[in-house]
Structure 1
Amino acid sequence: MKTLIKNIVWQGQPKEILIEDGRIQAIEAAGTTTEAVQVIDGQGHTAIPGLVDVHAHFREPGLTYKETISTGSEAAAQGGFTTVLTMPNVKPVIDNPAALKAQIELNQKEGHVKIDQIGALSLNLTDTQTTDIAEMVKAGAVAFSNDGHGVQNARTMLQAMKAVAKAKSTITAHIEDDDLVNHGVMNAGPSAEALGLPGMTGLSESTQLARDLVMVKATGCHYHVAHVSTKESVELVRLAKSQGLPVTAEVTPHHLFLDDSMIITDNPMMKMNPPLRSREDRLALIAGLLDGTIDMIATDHAPHAAEEKEGSMLDCAFGIVGLETAFALVYTHFVASGLVDLDTMLNWMNREPIEEFALQGAGQMRVGDPADIALVDLDHAYNIDPATFASKGKNTPFAGQKVYGQVMTTLVDGKVVYQKEEK
């Protein structure tokens, strides 16, 4: 079947895209193609490659009151994401080949976008015994993580690195030393002191990262730093890369655009892990992204039920949603402001994730690629409204913010999976 997307802008020029059998057959000047079974009018919007998120939580099985694969992947499509890597901290934990195979089948059955599955690094995420890395790679694990928990035992991490290196896979590491967290609910500093809330020192992140990077040098394991948040961590990643170590890193939009100086009340929507750090940390993250120390932007989409994000930061859940807001936030703050161009942004949110995680099924909007495409309105502002989210989670501190870059249409393998409703 042939589909023509007409009346779109691509790389600043009026173009049209011809799709056949789910793949891009041609990207040509407007008015070139005359033959198509289906025509999609892009209404002058900008075409971009479908975004790729290497860090999301869809909560199914076991926690479906927070999110399901269906609602999470609908949120992804609404945000322009066509490929998402989901974490293994569901119930039961995806820590064996049988559970992994069952999860992959469930992802394929319920998902509206492409979902690649990350497997657990150690049993039940917290055990000192590593999972069967080799067999889980064979079963389809795209990477390994204990996300939500730092690996406290150095020997466990060393064993995992050796196995992951041998399997030619990737560790995506949640770095957190429990002994240094000290029951913190936000970044340790003046804001925490002013609010009378327990603080979490950045050392809880950077000290474990330093430990792990020494072992990366010894094992050659591809090590990906999840949700980097401190200036010390940026410096450590920069040093590791200067030494030629196989290290990559991600940063979230909330750590790029929010910091603890903005927490002026005990606000549950501002509680996430790692916490919002200082303004100095935030600027270091931006600098690290701009100079290539940090490779990509990931959402750490973490939906919760409304009652879990109420009351005080002392006892509410960690985490915010991000799939439906990421593109617009990054575009508004970085591209519309003139800091970088759109192509640079797409490098962070499409090409780097695909290349670093060796994702074979994700498209980069080249002729012959899978037709994973989003059409976005870059010209008209809108306000972020959680009531419009497809995600079950409405927990975002960005509610009400004026942004540009609304996703209008998303296609996966040439099939429309999201179309913004006309008002």
Structure 2
Amino acid sequence: MGKIAGRIVTHTEEFKGTVVFDETAGLIKEVKKSVDPDARLFGDECVIFPGFGDIHIHAREDVSGKHCYKEDFVSAGNAGINGAVLHVADMPNNPVPPIDDKSYEEKLALTKKSPIHITLYAGIGPTTKPLLKKVPYKVFMGPSIGELFFEDNISLENTIRHYQGQDVSFHCEDPEILTENKNKPTHEERRPKEAETLATDFALSLIEKYDLKGKLCHYSTKDGLNKIIDAKKRGVNVTCEVTPTHLMFDTSMLTDDNRSWFQMNPPLRGKEDREAMVKGILDGHIDFLATDHAPHSIEEKKKGTSGISQLDTYGLFVTYMINVLNIPLQTIARICAKNPGDFVKQYLPEKFGSGFGEIKEGYAANFSVLNLKKPFVFEKSMIKSKSGWSPFEGFEFPGSIEAVYFLGKDLHAK
């Protein structure tokens, strides 16, 4: 049996205790509110969280192999471990998108080589239908990276009506607004806030009308978040994500030199919107910290490709959220562990027991252990993603990653 002990934080409580786990089965056997003398003890400067999960990444690999130079399931898994992330959910905008049972199973087989667990979204595009098996879905409402998107809302609804009751995540950018602004001089002007807020209205109407389990991805606008809050209050089954970049950066820091590196969809917004995202976490309205990890090559970024590589720094950014943004520890456990675990729970193999995201008997022995008192400078040489770059190169985070346990094994051990 393995044992770790110290300051344990879940979405409901914080206590000094010991977790006992079966190192062979990889499952938690017992949780004690006392410290066993023979356990691996983490000091009071450390926090033992349930293993973090990032439910929005682009690992790039599919049966074509065309984009494996950007990332593959092995390198994405290694980047996840680097960032204290123990499971991820991969988006479907591949050269060969997983849009039916055959293409989904073919891509799923490729995930088995990853050092961490990968859940796959199936894609929704014009003329697609639900798969036979239960899976999460992703729909791109407007043009993004890849070809899996809709040109207008009418064709989108004609497809979504077939997905009644399904788990559907929306990339909210109105296609008609994007078309109207496509010739504007900057990326922020080409993808204005109105594109997100209008698409939010439509996505919420579809979620309500077709009884979807809806999730709105990488949220960035104050007005749109208020629409989500109002929808939740009236009982709409919807959750939302926010990325580290929309919590830390805004348009005030953009320059001619860094603009291409910070180009993503949706783009950075103003200070008011960034602060609204932070408040949304504090007030309990934002449900997931999700990176939208989009590994493009350095050459592609210089040419203006949208997307930011940031899976490597997930856990380090969490120390920034705690120490600088003053996000409570139990809130971190909720949006980084419990909620991501709940999102993938119904799609997990039996070997993971009761699932991810909680420190309870029967759950996977996955733990993300952070040191909140040991600052850490993240260097370019530390990147595990094939992209080879990070917006946080040279940045000193206020804390560091102490250990990363996956199924009872410390993958972060030096």
For Structure 1 versus Structure 2, the TM-score category normalised by the shorter chain is: 0.7 to 0.9
Distance 1:213 1:31 in 2: 47
Cα distance, 1:357 vs structure 2? 4.8
Indicate whether 1:73 and 2:82 are aligned. no
CA distance 1:338–1:60, shift in 2 (3 Å)? closer
Indicate whether 1:336 and 2:323 are aligned. yes
Cα distance, 1:377 vs structure 2? 1.8
Contact persistence 1:58–1:86 (CA under 8 A): yes
In the alignment, residue 341 of structure 1 is paired with which amino acid? P
Contact persistence 2:150–2:156 (CA under 8 A): yes
2:261 alignment partner, SS class: helix
Indicate whether 1:236 and 2:227 are aligned. yes
* Equivalence for 1:180: 177
Distance 1:207 1:236 in 2: 10
CA distance 1:71–1:338, shift in 2 (3 Å)? closer
* Equivalence for 2:338: 351
* Equivalence for 2:151: 152
Contact persistence 1:161–1:216 (CA under 8 A): no
Cα distance, 1:291 vs structure 2? 1.9
* Equivalence for 2:351: none
Contact persistence 1:229–1:251 (CA under 8 A): yes
Distance 2:172 2:33 in 1: 48
Cα distance, 1:258 vs structure 2? 0.4
Contact persistence 1:377–1:404 (CA under 8 A): no
Cα distance, 1:255 vs structure 2? 0.5
In the alignment, residue 414 of structure 1 is paired with which amino acid? G
Distance 1:272 1:402 in 2: 23
Contact persistence 2:7–2:43 (CA under 8 A): no
Contact persistence 1:100–1:141 (CA under 8 A): no
* Equivalence for 1:304: 296
Distance 2:382 2:37 in 1: 36
Match of 2:7 among 1, 6, 9: 9
Indicate whether 1:53 and 2:54 are aligned. yes
Cα distance, 1:254 vs structure 2? 0.3
1:366 alignment partner, SS class: coil
Distance 1:269 1:338 in 2: 24
Distance 1:18 1:326 in 2: 26
Cα distance, 1:385 vs structure 2? 1.5
* Equivalence for 2:201: 210
* Equivalence for 2:163: 164
Cα distance, 1:252 vs structure 2? 0.5
* Equivalence for 2:287: 295
Q: Deviations over 1:206-245 (max 9, x none)?
A: 1122122222222211211011111221121112112211
Unaligned segments of structure 1, at least 5 residues: 123-127, 189-198
Match of 2:275 among 265, 279, 283: 283
Distance 2:41 2:326 in 1: 31
1:187 alignment partner, SS class: helix
Contact persistence 1:170–1:221 (CA under 8 A): yes
Contact persistence 2:100–2:131 (CA under 8 A): no
Distance 1:31 1:297 in 2: 31
* Equivalence for 2:120: 117
* Equivalence for 1:195: none
* Equivalence for 1:94: 98
Distance 1:239 1:150 in 2: 27
Distance 1:97 1:250 in 2: 27
* Equivalence for 1:83: 87
Distance 1:261 1:276 in 2: 9
CA distance 1:201–1:411, shift in 2 (3 Å)? same
Contact persistence 1:327–1:405 (CA under 8 A): no
* Identical positions, percent: 25
Please report the TM-score for the alignment, with normalisation by the length of structure 2: 0.86
CA distance 1:103–1:43, shift in 2 (3 Å)? farther
* Equivalence for 1:192: none
2:2 alignment partner, SS class: strand
In the alignment, residue 373 of structure 1 is paired with which amino acid? F
Cα distance, 1:165 vs structure 2? 2.5
Distance 2:213 2:156 in 1: 13
Distance 2:237 2:379 in 1: 39
Distance 1:240 1:5 in 2: 42
* Equivalence for 2:255: 264
* Equivalence for 2:111: 107
Contact persistence 2:250–2:269 (CA under 8 A): yes
Match of 1:318 among 306, 329, 349: 306
CA distance 1:357–1:157, shift in 2 (3 Å)? farther
